[in-house]
Amino acid sequence: MEVCPVSPRILVAGPDRLDDYLRPYCEALRRAGADPARAWPTPDALADGADLQRFLAGYHGLLLPGGADVEPWRYGQAPHPMLGATDAELDEGQLALARLALRSGFPTLAICRGIQVVAVAVGAILCQDLPAQRPSAVRHRVPTPKDALSHEVELEPDSRLAALCGPGRFPVNSRHHQAVQDGERAGWVGPLRVVARAPDGVVEGIESPDHPFAVSVQWHPENLVDGRPEARRLFRGFVSACGRASCRQGGG
């Protein structure tokens, strides 16, 4: 009988130069029972779909973390004057990984920039600067302390995200100035369902109804695992989904 690994191996996707920034994501996964791994596909792997699939097959789950703004040309827009720093290497690699993970049913949790990467991967566009393009009394950018609760989110009661975190409303931290825009169908971003919003209507969570686990959130649960049960449940649910995937793969 094949034995599943004690801890599913989850890729926290980013190049080595981001190791310090990505440490809190790794620690949150570790505390939820996972074996977080740091790696990045080579240019050759990104250029070859089969190579990228082999690269991702070395893991049981994918975490797409926060970070720089996505380059606007990747979703058909000109840069807004308030566009922040971008990172072409990060865009190229994370978009390729997101598209493959969505297409192949690979367990994926996306956070902050990650939700925006997932949205762009399915053809959606982003609001490049909330204060300029969608002004609101809701504070979406509270950089410090990282666990400061900024506003509430309200979850769709029949969503996977609500099943993980608990239904209704709860407070979250917030460190973003960009956001996913709804698609032509209200409540949907391409094939992904909008399952959480801030009080001003800004999209805070999307998920794929047809995927084993593809959940994306705009806040930073990795900084809330000490103080918020919703954050702990989200990471534990993701790690459990990755564990089930590892068993289907025969524990490899």
Catalytic residues: 112, 220, 222
Can you tell me the distance from the alpha carbon of 86 to that of 105, in angstroms, rounded to the nearest whole number?
Answer: 28
Q: DSSP secondary-structure letter at 87?
A: -
Beta-sheet strands, E only, within 138-231: 151-155, 168-172, 179-180, 188-189, 192-197, 203-207, 214-217
Please report which residue ranges of 105-207 form alpha helices under DSSP H: 113-121, 130-133, 160-165
Chain CA centroid to CA 123, Å: 16
Helix 19-31 and helix 229-248, axial crossing angle in degrees, nearest 10: 80
Residue 108 CA to residue 121 CA, distance in Å, equals: 13
Structure tokens at 78: 């000109």
**Could you tell me how many residues make up the chain?**
252
CA 123 to CA 85: how far, in whole Å? 21
Of 153, 245, 169, give the one whose Cα is nearest residue 205.
153
- Please state whether beta strands 9-13 and 35-39 pair in parallel, antiparallel, or not at all (unpaired): parallel
